[in-house]
């Protein structure tokens, strides 16, 4: 079986409301859908979900795949996944989001050819579901509390509060109000998205420890590994790195330098599932637990992330896999991913185990 063609389609499915995060505002979601064709008629599907203020953008991802990655791998066997990754590296430096989208389509085609789910290509499952953490990012206490009441009715048992946008005193009062609403034992996490500065992060994080967060995520700039390491050593609450891990090589540096207690692994940042598992294996060897993060993927990309998370022992803290079910108004798959009692279940069908809603893809297509 050989790869004969790759197509890319930029989509913009609507979201429920604007989100305010430390690194910038989320006003829309752009997803690049990748469709891979083989000479045996098998079609594999992938997705890259960028956010320009975080890392990369849809137009550059589409151009990178169309002009560099696709020409390099046409004619290759989708079974030779490691070789495909090396070939893409030789064709274009970096571009982890684009490579993750292509690798996803390759794995989907391979799984379909074998009649097996992707997780069976990765060593099988160690769990069949992970819990979902929803990110609350309204920048307003009243709106936050209203949304959280809805989320509790929806069955969420984990919430991540986006901070680093308001003044420190306002952030503290906001977290206090949320903790009072959900109760003392609820699994509450805090995420700065780099919104804190080094000089204020220590004081603010110490103040936030009062509310017993499960962890505090990326309190300062991702490149400041020295500051992250100092904070990690000084606080009782675990520190999680996200923007400090924008590649699988950076993941190695975070673990090596003790710059976090937990790593947030997103397959888009590492260049795909195989390299995400290599980062997770490094963390497992070092005794560093991991979190299964996500960007703003539809059910296509979330399904891929589920195959990664459910086949990876180092994933201990659940996931951000709420986007297709609770952030976007409409999904790009026919049947929604299965959510049970606050957990999301990995699909068990061949490949990704999902059916793409091509009518929805066309409905939300962004013209080139």
Which residue out of 162, 221, 269, 277 is catalytically annotated? 162
Which residue out of 62, 112, 266, 277 is catalytically annotated? 266
278 catalytically annotated: no
Give yes or no for a contact between 321 and 269, defined as CB atoms under 8 angstroms apart.
no
**Cβ neighbours of residue 303 under 8 Å, at least 6 residues apart?**
333, 337, 346, 347, 352, 353, 354
For the four alpha carbons of 330, 331, 337 and 342, in that order, the dihedral sign comes to: negative
Strand order across the beta sheet in which 31-38 lies: 3-11, 31-38, 43-48
**SS3 annotation, the chain:** CCEEEEEEEEECCCECCCEEECCEEECCCCEEEEEEEECCCCEEEEEECCECCCECCHHHHHHHHHHHHHHHHCCCCCCCHHHHHHHHHHHCCCCHHHHHHHHHHHHHHHHHHHCCEHHHHCCCCCCCEEEEEEEECCCCHHHHHHHHHHHHHCCCCEEEEECCCCCHHHHHHHHHHHHHHHCCCCEEEEECCCCCCHHHHHHHHHHHHHHCCCCEECCCCCCCHHHHHHHHHHCCCCEEECCCCCCHHHHHHHHHHCCCCEEEECHHHHCCHHHHHHHHHHHHHHCCCEEECCCCCCHHHHHHHHHHHHCCCCEEEEECCCHHHHHECCCCECCCCCEECCEEECCCCCECCCCECHHHHHHCECCC
139 catalytically annotated: no
CA distance 55 to 77: 30
Give yes or no for a contact between 339 and 129, defined as CB atoms under 8 angstroms apart.
no
Task: Indicate which residues carry an active-site annotation.
Answer: 162, 266
């Amino acid at each position: 079986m050989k790869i004969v063609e790759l197509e890319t389609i930029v989509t913009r499915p609507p979201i429920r409301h604007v989100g305010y995060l430390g690194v910038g505002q989320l006003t829309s979601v752009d997803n690049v859908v990748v469709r891979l064709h083989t000479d045996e008629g098998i079609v594999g599907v992938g997705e890259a979900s960028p956010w320009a203020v975080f890392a990369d953008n849809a137009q550059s991802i589409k151009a990178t795949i169309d002009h560099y990655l696709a020409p390099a791998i046409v004619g290759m066997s989708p079974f030779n996944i490691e070789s495909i990754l090396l070939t893409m590296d030789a064709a274009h430096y970096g571009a982890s989001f684009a490579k993750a989208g292509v690798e996803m389509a390759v794995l989907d085609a391979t799984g379909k050819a074998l009649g097996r789910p992707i997780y069976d290509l990765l060593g099988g499952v160690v769990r069949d579901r992970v819990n979902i953490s929803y990110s609350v990012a309204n920048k307003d206490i009243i709106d936050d509390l209203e949304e959280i009441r809805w989320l509790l009715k929806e069955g969420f048992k984990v919430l991540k509060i986006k901070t680093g946008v308001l003044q420190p005193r306002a952030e503290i009062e906001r977290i206090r109000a949320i903790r009072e609403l959900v109760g003392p034992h609820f699994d509450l996490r805090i995420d700065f998205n780099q919104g804190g500065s080094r000089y204020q992060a220590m004081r603010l994080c110490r103040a936030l420890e009062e509310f017993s967060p499960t962890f505090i995520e990326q309190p300062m700039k991702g490149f400041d590994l020295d500051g992250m390491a100092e904070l990690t050593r000084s606080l009782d609450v675990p520190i999680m790195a996200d923007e400090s891990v924008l590649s699988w090589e950076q993941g190695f540096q975070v673990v090596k330098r003790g710059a976090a207690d937990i790593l947030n692994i997103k397959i888009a940042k590492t260049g795909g599932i195989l390299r995400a598992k290599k980062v997770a294996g490094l963390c497992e060897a070092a005794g560093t637990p991991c979190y299964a993060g996500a960007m703003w993927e539809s059910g296509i990309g979330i399904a891929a992330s589920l195959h990664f998370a459910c086949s990876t022992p180092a994933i201990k803290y659940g996931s951000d896999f709420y986007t297709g079910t609770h952030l976007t108004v409409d999904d790009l798959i026919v049947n929604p991913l299965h959510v049970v009692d606050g957990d999301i279940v990995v699909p068990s069908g061949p490949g990704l185990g999902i059916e793409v809603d091509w009518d929805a893809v066309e409905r939300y297509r962004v013209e080139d």
